[in-house]
Amino acid sequence: MKHETYQWPNAAAPVADKKEHWRNLHGDSVLDNYYWMYDYFGKGPDSTKVVDYLKAENTYVDTMMSATKKLQSDLFTEMKARIKEKDESVPVFKNGYFYYSRT
């Protein structure tokens, strides 16, 4: 069996900022250095920083996984071929009959 060595792309993983934030949960003090990311959900002042960080993470993953594009495509095609494709709506009972649609 022939083993090929793989050379990882030279890409640095993004590092999220740490901002000290203490929270009291059920009487315990908990340090959460990434609490600032919660601003994303409230559209707070750091929400754009969260989006920028997530985009950087996605770019990093795309770079690191770029050599596996063919394998990903092959696996997706194989899995899709094994799925019985049919589309049915949820049956609705009305006037003593079940109604549904399928394609």
C-alpha 48/C-alpha 42 separation (Å) is 11
C-alpha 46/C-alpha 68 separation (Å) is 34
Strands (E) in 10-99, as ranges, are: 22-25, 28-31, 92-94, 97-99
C-alpha 36/C-alpha 78 separation (Å) is 41
pLDDT of amino acid 13 = 95
pLDDT of amino acid 32 = 96
pLDDT of amino acid 47 = 82
pLDDT of amino acid 3 = 72
Q: How many residues does the chain have?
A: 103
**Residue-level pLDDT, tens digit, the chain, 103 residues:** 677 777 888 899 999 999 999 999 999 999 999 998 887 777 877 788 998 999 999 999 999 999 999 999 999 999 999 987 778 889 999 999 999 898 7
C-alpha 22/C-alpha 32 separation (Å) is 6
Please work out, in degrees rounded to the nearest 5, the angle formed at the alpha carbon of residue 41 by the alpha carbons of 60 and 36. 70
